[in-house]
Amino acid sequence: MAVCYASENLPQLQIEAVLSVRPLKVTEPRRVRQVLMSDTDCIHGCYQIVLYYESLNEEEGDKFLAGWIVESLGSALVEHPLLSGRLKRKDSDEDEAVLEIVSNDSGIRLYEVRFPMVLSEFLSLRAEKEHLEAELVFWKEIDEQNPQFSPLFYVQVTQFECGGYTVGISCSLLLADALVVENFLKNWADIHSSMLLQRQEIKAPIFHPSLLVKNDEPPPADVINRTRCRKAQSMGFKFIGKDLNLNQEFYRKVAMLCVEEAEKKLEKKVWTEFSLFVKESCEVIKVEGHSKSGYCKKVLDQSLKNEISGGTWNDFGEFFMFHEGNKPVLVSRWIGSIADDGKVVVIPSPEEKASALIIVSLP
């Protein structure tokens, strides 16, 4: 059992188990997404979600929670194989660094954690909760030298003393598609809920850490040492313009207008550098470093402001139930970063109400 630092005045989280979860079926053909970028520093950052659930008051509900999650996760990953893939370097004759995300079924990383506190007590905290919430999602930054060994997706299941629990998700911004992550969550929750309804004759999942021989040795440090990310203030926007040339330069201008608006509403003007993530297609994502000083307001098409409206996190997804009738009591979403620059993520939207969804993150 490993201990995670939480706060000097509060209990500490305890890591019970760490494992990799792979798709239940081999991914064929392999899916590939190119990552085009001008600077390897741009690979840092993650999209994070924490969903809070109250106890179901079931005798076995929390005892085998992580075990059932292993099985449902493997099924859900069949439809989202890139989440369990890895980065690899690709030879390029151009100046841009080129990486590829390959769906090689290496697996996502799952952490089972216990927190010796009642969920309602945790939710009643103020400043401490803001700090501790980052402990409910595990993230380890991509290794720039050996990116092929770094998971791109983490799941942390944290169980509280009362039987309540949280599901924490961390996803690399190189996947940079909150819509895909939210769709994955919905698919996974549906599979998990359906599985529990069908398990009347099954008393325990096929796999669960408590069914294995316990090892008193703590997990290796490189497995449990997380990256301490800053929980950035984030705002969502919708771009509703139609029939426009939605190329990279166009999205740069839209990004700058959203940055200006976010700074105004959040009353923050603390940074001049930002990384822009644009999902050009399912097969290509482009990441660039930008400077506000490199843009002159005169060259920005101010008329585009009329096409930009404020958005909410609900634009990216719904609430998800892992047990029928048990809606989350709280959902938190944010961008995590270790750098001092901002992050702007542009996601083309499949919906008719918007051409793109934009997340602006101010550290």
Instruction: Kindly report, residue by residue over 262-311, the tens digit of the pLDDT.
Output: 888 877 665 567 788 888 777 888 888 777 665 555 445 566 777 787 77
What is the average pLDDT score of the chain? Answer: 76
- Does 86 score more than 90 pLDDT? yes
Contact criterion met (CB below 8 Å) for 12 and 4: yes
Instruction: Kindly report, residue by residue over 187-245, the tens digit of the pLDDT.
Output: 888 888 887 776 655 554 444 554 444 556 666 666 778 887 777 777 888 887 765 55
Distance separating alpha carbons of residues 12 and 5, to the nearest angstrom: 6
pLDDT of residue 216: 60
pLDDT of residue 316: 63
Average pLDDT, integer, range 307-328: 72
- 98 membership: H or E segment, kind and range: strand 97-102
| One-letter amino acid for residue 71 of the chain | E
- Give percent of the chain with pLDDT exceeding 70: 70
pLDDT of residue 213: 44
- 184 membership: H or E segment, kind and range: helix 178-197
| One-letter amino acid for residue 109 of the chain | R
pLDDT of residue 65: 63
Q: Which residue, chain included where needed, has tokens 């599979």?
A: 191
- Does 92 score more than 70 pLDDT? no
pLDDT of residue 343: 83
- 249 membership: H or E segment, kind and range: helix 248-266
pTM of the model: 0.84
pLDDT of residue 43: 77
Does the structural domain 14-231+313-337 have CATH classification 3.30.559.10? yes
Q: Which residue has the higher pLDDT, 289 or 106?
A: 106
pLDDT level of residue 139 (50, 70, 90 thresholds): very high
pLDDT level of residue 143 (50, 70, 90 thresholds): confident
pLDDT of residue 55: 79
The 10 Å Cβ neighbour count of residue 20 is 12
pLDDT of residue 206: 43
pLDDT of residue 297: 52
Q: Structural domain boundaries of the chain? A: 14-231+313-337
The 10 Å Cβ neighbour count of residue 260 is 17
- Does 155 score more than 80 pLDDT? yes
pLDDT of residue 60: 42
Side-chain-side CA neighbours of residue 144 (13 Å): 8
Q: Which residue has the higher pLDDT, 299 or 257?
A: 257
- Residue 25's DSSP bridge partners are none
DSSP string across 308-356? EEEE-GGGG-----SSTT---SEEEEEEEESSSSEEEEEEE--STT-SE
